[in-house]
A = this chain, B = another copy of it.
Amino acid sequence: MSDRKPAEWPANIRPEKTQDWDAFKESDTEAGIQVNDDFERFEQRNDMFCRSQWDEKIATKAAMEFWRGHRKPNFRKGDGFRQRDFALRNASWVMASSIMERGFSEGIREGFTDDIKQFHPPDSNKVKIESVEDMTREIKQVAKYFGADLVGITEYDERWVYTSKFNVRTKEESPVALPEGLTSVIMVGHAMEYDIIKSMPSALASTAVGKGYSTEAAIVMHIAQYIRNLGYEAVGSMNDTSLTIPQAIKAGLGEYGRHNMLITRDFGPRVRISKIFTDMPLYHDKPIKFGVTEFCEECRRCYEACPVDAITGGPPTNSGHNKSNVDGVEKWTTNCEKCFGYWTALRTDCAICMRVCPYNKNFSKWYMRAARWLAGTALRKLMLWLDIRLGYGERDMPQKWWSGDYQKLK
């Protein structure tokens, strides 16, 4: 796509290739990721959120209203969009915002365009790692202790790291200055509540998103600081710095879904993903397969449910819809211009695709785990038929959550 590199692109910050990308082929195949010859690393400025700051096509009045609504919402009468719904959504962001806003005056947005700045440098005493296996287990234990719902580790792979980062204030780009010598990326999954997501789309349901970000900011900072306190380098990261999904798949957190989201075994697509880049010696996980690809080939519930037709009903393709898509990876690709356009119309984020996904279930129940297993077998068509028949994926009225019979389920 010719419009991806405007003339003003500062060529000098473009990173050198420092890894042998062909060496990733085998593990790509194992993970079901097909990277083609025309693949190029992604420019952060082209993600939808950045584009809403500089691209006239995206930075519409509605988009500005969408952002402004995180402070001064235009609440309305409809269930799920009242003052208390927006009040809860905006309150849910408070911790993520407190981290994000630390560098606000310089246009730095930790966790969104920039990695999270740690307080304490790595300890001058590097712990001696006698067993990489034990250390890997320890890091995962610590991650879980600090609240991670899922944790997996993959090798550092520069292909997914952004070519540059974007400054929302100056609208300029600067290098993604990761430390040298990184070897691993610890991928962390954060579950969002099943019952609140059921009222998607609504300001109420978006609360799960804000709370997810707030929680993941804390968890990723705890884990990264732990590693640094052991004397190793660790960079905490949320939406910033690199694409997360290919890394999450390779770290064994789940499979890729038609709706462009990671589908995990324990929480389906109902997760946020964060990551810690590190040079600590750690073992890497293997990708998992539980039938998602085959199921998504049959299932088109997200495609059918999307009100703006942003999700593809067809097979995977190599090329995306616009500059916000990654080209050169064979995959289902969402039209995020349409998607974000709907968010701005709603004045809150939408995840109908997450709600209707047959993998969006409460897997703490044994029969849901049984259904998940069957969805991974030749009975997948039957399971899909049953899922629709039983009314799963239908929207709950936000009022139901507020009525107080809410129980915390993940």
Q: Which B residue sits closest to A144, measured CB to CB?
A: B408
Residues of B within 8 A of A225 (CB): 90-91, 94
Q: How many copies of the polypeptide does the oligomer hold?
A: 2
> Are A83 and B226 interface neighbours, CB within 8 A?
no
The answer to whether B402 and A91 touch across the interface, beta carbons within 8 angstroms, is no
Residues of B close to A309: CB separation below 8 A: none
**Which listed segment binds B: A22-30, A44-52, A120-128, A155-163?**
A120-128
The reply to whether A218 and B214 form a contact with Cβ atoms under 8 Å apart is: yes
User: Does residue A229 face the partner (Cβ distance < 8 Å to B)?
Assistant: yes
A59 proximal to B (CB < 8 A) = no
For chain A, residues 389 to 405, give those with C-beta under 8 angstroms from any C-beta of chain B: 402, 404
Instruction: Tell me whether A406 and B146 are in contact in the complex, defined as CB-CB below 8 angstroms, given that A83-B127, A98-B221, A223-B91 are known contacts.
Output: no
Query: CB-defined interface of A101-143 with B at 8 Å, one 1/0 digit per residue?
Result: 1100000000000000011100101010000000001100110
Structural contact, A83 and B144, CB atoms closer than 8 A: no
Contact A98 B119 (CB under 8 A): yes
- Interface pair B218/A95, CB less than 8 Å apart: yes
Say yes or no for A54: interface residue by CB 8 A criterion: no
A241 to chain B, nearest CB (A): 19
Docked complex Cα distance between A203 and B103 (Å): 32
A62 to chain B, nearest CB (A): 21
Please name all residues of chain B whose beta carbon is closer than 8 Å to the beta carbon of A39 when the two chains form the complex: none
The chain B residue sitting closest to A141, CB to CB, is B404
A76 at the binding interface (Cβ < 8 Å): no
Q: Does A145 contact B (CB under 8 A)?
A: yes
- Choice from B71, B145, B222 contacting A214 with Cβ under 8 Å: B222
Contact A221:B137 (CB < 8 A) given known A83-B127, A88-B226, A101-B119? no
Given A211-B146, A218-B214, A404-B137: A230 touches B83 (CB 8 Å cut-off): yes
- Give the residues from 279 to 321 in chain A that come closer than 8 angstroms, CB to CB, to chain B: none
Report A95 CB to chain B, min CB distance, Å: 5
Cross-chain pairs A/B with CB under 8 angstroms, 20 sampled: A83-B123, A84-B127, A86-B229, A87-B226, A88-B226, A90-B120, A91-B142, A94-B119, A94-B222, A94-B225, A95-B217, A95-B222, A98-B99, A102-B102, A138-B404, A145-B207, A145-B406, A146-B211, A211-B222, A218-B218
